[in-house]
Amino acid sequence: MGSPPNDIDARTPDRLAMGGLVDAHGRVVRYLRISVTDRCDLRCRYCMAETMTFLPRSELLALEEIAIIAERFIARGVTKIRLSGGEPLVRRDVGDLVARLGRHVGRGLDELTMTTNGTRLADHAQCLHAAGIRRVNVSLDSLDPALFRHITRHGDLAQVLGGIFAARDAGLRVKINTVALRGLNEHELPDILAWTVEHGFDLSLIETMPLGEVDEDRTDRFLPLTEVFADLSARFALTRDAHRSGGPARYWSVGDSGTRLGLISPLTANFCDGCNRVRLTTDGKLYLCLGHDDQVDLKAALRGGGIPALDAAIDHGLRIKPAAHDFRIDGATAPAVARHMSVTGG
Ligand code: SAM
Ligand code: SF4
């Protein structure tokens, strides 16, 4: 049995009347993820192939267009925006976008956040904080420099740790994202949790999702978090935390440390009933579900007909938002969705 729709609260009738973002299943969309670029300076093995090809620059949304679309979503009830990618900090003008969207924090937008691989965080942390970002998610799949380099193909662990501590020192709350990988970092997950506790970070563990072709067979690397949780709960005092994000995460508190552990299990947990999010790609497509190909072209709408056409396209998107994802890792030869996570924005 599913949980009730995410947000049928006292404000819902008002939001509907005001052109708010309610889908055909009664779910209120409050969360927009924006992939500001599909490019990246790393090549994590579960995310993309070594020889990944990227979108031609001519197809990308201009920064001004991203801002206009984001502001339309804010006007229509989105209260949280996450900037992601690809690696958001490799886009040269991302600082201008952060500054512009940051002006909406406290004025319609409750929160502006970013997911980053941390390679350039040391240079950007203070500007992100000054613009109104208060939390960042940083991907870190190993604390072992050799394994980190192996998983990311190019990554320098010291550089990423430098970024993480620069973020903390700039006043940003840090959540570490770790993809649980069978035969790669599975032995290290308790150490990574202990390290986040030591430094006052939160930790989200993520199951690999079948998004896009990579050079490897993901089935071999898939590690169900039910298995990881059994191991962690034998070593740490984990108590269930009621926090919900409207996504596939379930949370636990780690003793009285203040660290929150999130388990993101799209393959082994049903979370779709409470889904509150949509995703904008760097070429202007609005994806309604990470695990489906349904999308509407907001770039074409905005360029062809301005704000009224943009609104109509967003409305159409809400009407076709799928009830649930179609993920499975069962030895199928093709990924469930051809798009890489770096295109949709993780
Ligand atoms: N480059 C940034 C980073 O790595 O944090 C932001 C984009 S990345 C696509 C966002 C998150 O998606 C990262 O935490 C990454 O580990 C995760 N990710 C990428 N591909 C994935 C996959 N196939 N399954 C599960 N998580 C994935
Ligand atoms: Fe780049 Fe992030 Fe994908 Fe790794 S997970 S290749 S850092 S986009």
pLDDT at position 253:
97
Strands (E), 181-305: 202-207, 238-241, 249-254, 260-264, 277-280, 285-287, 295-297
pLDDT tens-place string over residues 128-180: 999 999 999 999 999 999 999 999 998 999 999 999 999 999 999 999 999 99
Higher-pLDDT residue of 281, 341: 281
Q: Mutation test of ligand 2: which of 35, 38, 43, 137 has the most ligand atoms closer than 8 Å to its C-beta?
A: 43
The whole-angstrom separation of Cα 79 and Cα 57 is 29
What is the enclosing helix (H) or strand (E) of 315?
helix 298-320
Which of 45-54, 241-250, 274-283, 313-322 bottoms out in mean pLDDT, i.e. has the lowest? 241-250
The whole-angstrom separation of Cα 175 and Cα 262 is 10
Q: Is the pLDDT of residue 236 over 50?
A: yes
* DSSP conformation class of 97: H
Centre of ligand 2 from the C-alpha of residue 155, in Å: 10
Considering every ligand atom shown, identify the ligand nearest to the alpha carbon of residue 52 and give its number: 2
346 and 137 in contact (C-beta within 8 Å)?
A: no
What is the enclosing helix (H) or strand (E) of 68?
helix 63-75
Ligand 1 neighbours by CB, cut-off 6 Å? 40, 46-47, 84-85, 87, 115-117, 139, 177, 179, 206, 208-209, 211, 341-342, 346
What is the enclosing helix (H) or strand (E) of 306?
helix 298-320
pLDDT at position 114:
98
Sign (positive or negative) of CA dihedral 339, 110, 199, 236: negative
What φ, ψ does residue 78 adopt, rounded to 5°? -70, 130
pLDDT band at 324 (very low <50, low <70, confident <90, very high): confident
The whole-angstrom separation of Cα 310 and Cα 320 is 16
**Percentages (nearest 5) of helix, strand, coil residues in the chain:** 35, 20, 45
pLDDT tens-place string over residues 250-279: 999 999 999 999 999 876 656 788 889 999
Q: Mutation test of ligand 1: which of 45, 151, 206 has the most ligand atoms closer than 8 Å to its C-beta?
A: 206
Q: Given the CA of residue 210, which atom of ligand 1 is nearest to it? A: 23
For the chain, the domains span 14-344
pLDDT tens-place string over residues 182-226: 999 999 999 999 999 999 999 999 998 877 777 777 778 889 999
CATH code of the domain made up of 14-344: 3.20.20.70
85 lines ligand 2 (CB under 6 A): yes
The whole-angstrom separation of Cα 237 and Cα 252 is 9
Q: Mutation test of ligand 1: which of 33, 47, 185 has the most ligand atoms closer than 8 Å to its C-beta?
A: 47
Query: Three-state SS string across 206-241, please?
Result: EECCCECCCCCCHHHHECCHHHHHHHHHHHCCEEEE
CA 160 distance to own-chain centroid: 18
The whole-angstrom separation of Cα 253 and Cα 233 is 11
Q: Whose CA is nearest to atom 3 of ligand 2?
A: 47
Tokens of 13: 């009738």
Q: Whose CA is nearest to atom 21 of ligand 1?
A: 47
Q: Whose CA is nearest to atom 8 of ligand 2?
A: 86
Q: Is the pLDDT of residue 241 over 50?
A: yes
pLDDT at position 180:
97
pLDDT tens-place string over residues 268-307: 656 788 889 999 999 999 999 887 888 999 999 999 999 9
Tokens of 15: 């939001």
Nearest to 301 by CA among 12, 104, 69: 69
Q: Given the CA of residue 155, which atom of ligand 2 is nearest to it? A: 7
Nearest to 229 by CA among 245, 246, 252: 252
* DSSP conformation class of 191: H
pLDDT at position 17:
46
pLDDT tens-place string over residues 71-126: 999 999 999 999 999 999 999 999 999 999 999 999 999 999 999 999 999 999 99
